[in-house]
Amino acid sequence: MNTATLNPTLPLRTTRVESIDLLRGLVMIIMALDHVRDYFHADAFLFNPVDLDKTNAPLFFTRWITHFCATVFVFLAGTSAFLVGSRKGKKELTAFLLKRGLWILVLEFTVINFSWFFNIHFSMIAITVISALGASMIALAAFIHLPFKAILVFGLLFVFGHNALDGIHVEGDGAGALLWGFTHGGGAFNFPGFLLFIGYPFLPWTGVMLLGYCFGSLYLPSQNGEERRRLLRYFGIAAIALFIILRFINIYGDPSHWSVQKDGLFTLLSFLNVTKYPPSLLYLLVTLGPAMLLLSVSEGWRGKFAQYVIALGRVPMFYYILHIYLIHILAVFAALATGYSLADMTFTMWVTDSPNLKGYGFNLGITYLVWIAVLLALYPLCLRYDAYKQNNKTKWWLSYL
């Protein structure tokens, strides 16, 4: 391995890495499928798509493929932070991470929260992947002042060790239960006037961001490209192999064990059915492994489609906000057209838990068509915004959207 990988404090310059933007853009495209399914697929309001007693293979994989999104999103945010720090230094990176992390949290609790629920009373506050990003950036602002190897050790400890805490539960709505919910347990907490739902506890996601930060050292200009691709293949294969071994042993790495099902296909689905809330070690291995393999082969991709996806990957927050509003607005029209009311698309709970929408929705084919329509509508807006960012790099506020 190049010495720059072991000593990433060397004063080096970097340029934007298009393969990272490509991977981020791909998972953003997949992410939209999951959110369209939430608002349009009839079965989403009846059962969990990974419930093996009720699901089918196409529906299971429609949900399962989107597991890559949160992991890659947070991991690559750490990688991007490392590359920013290699240009600006730790002092500037600390300020950037703190400001960006706080800004992301503000967006989550206001603009993004409203996009999910269309509820001006904010009766439910959901801690989603955006909160995990913001909180992990704030944590990273402190961790970057540790030695590089210490950051790596903490990242590995959080990712590999957090499932040892699965048996700990703190009941109630008190301060201790809330703190544990934010840290690892997740859950719902009642407050006067609103319900707080923690879907993305911060301990494992901070570990993912710390590892992503360390991963950024592979993309310093001094790193040999062929060596980097070899390491990416090694890490990717190792992660997948470790997933298979730990999953087969069925002892540690995921609170939900797999079991033999009614046939071979459903046994495979059980094997792949890993826990996302909070993200288990096996969930992280099975998503990061293929992501690294894709990075190992995508550095030379220059086709037209690749360039479109790369452009999306350069405007992740802009895309994220737009896509939820667009999906929810389209769902309002779909509900009105099928005999439901605007009130039925205004939520005090998560959309798929709404009792008013049982019986609403469309088949999986229509859901995919809506997903494609959403992507086609978003592409020109994102491309235009990306071009604006490229032509106005001196405008500081663009780095926050």
This prediction's pTM:
0.92
Q: Cα separation of 157 and 176, whole Å?
A: 23
d(C-alpha 213, C-alpha 12), whole Å? 16
Tell me the backbone φ, ψ of residue 38, rounded to 5 degrees: -60, -40
Task: Give pLDDT tens digits along the chain (401 positions).
Answer: 343 433 333 333 335 688 999 999 999 999 999 999 999 999 999 999 999 999 999 999 999 999 999 999 999 999 999 999 988 889 999 999 999 999 999 999 999 999 999 999 999 999 999 999 999 999 999 999 999 999 999 999 999 999 999 999 998 888 999 999 999 999 999 999 899 999 999 999 999 999 999 999 999 988 898 999 999 999 999 999 999 999 999 999 999 999 999 999 999 999 999 999 999 999 999 999 999 999 999 988 888 889 899 999 999 999 999 999 999 999 999 999 999 999 999 999 999 999 999 999 999 999 999 999 999 999 999 999 998 888 887 777 777 77
- Report how far residue 231's alpha carbon sits from residue 165's, in angstroms, rounded to the nearest whole number: 31
Query: Domain limits of the chain?
Result: 3-400
Whose CA is closest to 16, among 311, 321, 319?
Answer: 311
List C-alpha distances in Å: 107 to 74, 311, 399: 16, 22, 14
Residues 6+ apart with CB under 8 A from 88: 96
